[in-house]
Amino acid sequence: MKAQVRYTMSSTDVLISARGLRKQYGALVVLDGVDFEVRRGDAIGIVGPNGAGKTTLLSVLSGSQAPTNGSIDFKGNDVSSLDAARRCRMGIVRTHQVPQPFSGMTVFENVFTAATHGGGFRGAEAYDRCIDAIELCGMTKVANRRAATLGLLDRKRLELTRALATNPQVLLLDEIGGGLTDGEAAELVQTIKVLHGRDIAIVWIEHIVHVLLQVAKRLVCMDSGRVIAAGDPNEVLSNATVMDAYLGGGR
């Protein structure tokens, strides 16, 4: 029996420290001076109305977009100028709201590509990470199926499986529960809890708040590109400013 792959992290408490993040497209300000911190063991939920800047924040943290201003440190090192591929190999990994697998490849081939190209692993280590991730995320029965034939839940699971195979230290989840039934979302929550139990810090954007609260220990609410409340989930959700942002619909 092969040994279980161990996903380890630095002893540093602070993993991501972002300061003064601003993202602007001409006159449109999408992020407006956001400070954001992710610590070892965190399970952070991000909520807010449409257009609040939530997905842009994940894009900037993961390196798929560059901030107009501000800085991002990862374990004490400035990664502001590094692209998404470099950050992925360092341990900052992001999933997408709409799964983007290689549709002509099998599930295993998708995961192996993530382990080798995303994680930088080779040979037996890459193979072991693939098998471990596939088993953990419940994808064993469909490992040899082409990604194009998968239903929505399995495509969401494949997003998690590919991310896990890269050896993430911080996992950024963008609306991974979107479009699922309550039962399917509950299955996904159990997988995310297992990932968190492996010392992977979770940052999760989700509109289905009751699903999000099954994982999140800290809640951040954004509106109009700013963080308007952060802290204990119950306190954030009862905050008058947060309630006004939702009722007002954001921008």
Tokens representing residue 172 in the block: 């950024």
User: Which residues are paired to 45 by β-bridges?
Assistant: 204, 219
Going from N- to C-terminal start, the domains of the chain cover 12-84+202-251
Q: What is the DSSP letter of 106?
A: B
Q: What is the CATH T-level fold of the domain 12-84+202-251, as seen in this structure?
A: Rossmann fold (3.40.50)
Q: What is the pLDDT along the chain (251 residues), one digit of tens a residue?
A: 344 444 444 445 899 999 999 999 999 999 999 999 999 999 999 999 999 999 999 999 999 999 999 999 999 999 999 999 999 999 999 999 888 899 999 999 999 999 999 999 999 999 999 999 999 999 999 999 999 999 999 999 999 999 999 999 999 999 998 889 989 999 999 999 999 999 999 999 998 899 999 999 999 999 999 999 999 999 999 999 998 887 664 44
Which residues in 153-177 are b (16+ Cβ under 10 Å) and which e?
bbbbbbbbbbbbbbbbbbbbbbbbb
Q: Are 193 and 200 in contact (CB under 8 A)?
A: no
pLDDT (0 to 100) of residue 244: 87
pLDDT (0 to 100) of residue 84: 96
Q: What are phi and psi of 107, to 5 degrees?
A: -60, -50
Q: What Å distances lie between residue 139 and 63, 143, 153, 199, 217, CA to CA?
A: 28, 6, 11, 21, 27
Amino acid identity, position 202: I
pLDDT (0 to 100) of residue 83: 96
pLDDT (0 to 100) of residue 8: 46
pTM given for the model: 0.90
Helix or strand holding residue 21 (H, E): strand 14-25
Q: What Å distances lie between residue 15 and 72, 87, 131, CA to CA?
A: 10, 12, 27
Q: What Å distances lie between residue 121 and 6, 28, 158, 243, CA to CA?
A: 14, 40, 19, 46
CA-CA distance, 161 to 118, in Å (whole number)? 12
User: Which residues are paired to 230 by β-bridges?
Assistant: 220
Q: What are phi and psi of 108, to 5 degrees?
A: -60, -45
